Amino acid sequence: MGSGTLIWTMPWFKNTSNVFEKTVLGGWKFSDMTLLRSGLSLDMTYSGNNAGYPVRPDVSGQAIKGPKTATAWFNTLAFQKPVAGYLGNANIGVIRGPGLVDFDMALYKTFPLFAKHQIEFRAEAFNVMNHTNFSAVSTAFNSSTFGQITSALDPRIIEAALRYQF
């Protein structure tokens, strides 16, 4: 689990005497925000006819670790319906959910106009690597999607903006 941020003022064309190079090509900044996170611990649930009490399924004895795909994040055969009248023996946090790999980057420059007026151009990209980041795993034992990934975070998003400052 970790994160990092950097802002880099690019040194090119900074001290040139050519006005065009200095104004248009010089003074650009690059920023990056990286986030790497392991998955959260998830609890199994089972809602059956047990006088309305929430219960967990029983562990069957098979290995829980699965292929970690969208259709089978864990081995669903590792769990079974609890005996009637009992709450189930699956531990809390027995499943590790999907992690997060995210690289957000921006390239920007401020262009002076006059006095205290300036225009800032920004080009930003979120999830630059377009890495699929799953966000939810169905842990409800009696659900038709049990063990499957049910949603994902946003794919790559690119945007550009102009900001007038005065």
How far does Cα 144 stand from its chain's mean position? Answer: 25
Give the pLDDT score at 23. Answer: 85
- Domain positions in the chain are 2-165
* 22 φ/ψ angles, rounded to the nearest 5 degrees: -70, -40
Question: What are the residue ranges of helices labelled H in 42-148?
Answer: none
Provide the residue-wise pLDDT of the chain in tens; the chain has 166 residues: 799 999 999 999 988 889 888 888 999 999 999 999 999 999 999 876 666 566 889 999 999 998 999 999 999 999 998 887 778 899 999 999 999 999 999 999 999 898 899 999 999 999 999 999 999 999 999 899 999 999 999 999 999 999 999 9
Structure tokens at 100: 């997060």
Pick the closest to residue 80 from 50, 49, 43, 44 (CA basis).
44
Structure tokens at 36: 């790497």
Q: What is the pLDDT of residues 136-150, one digit of tens each?
A: 999 999 899 999 999
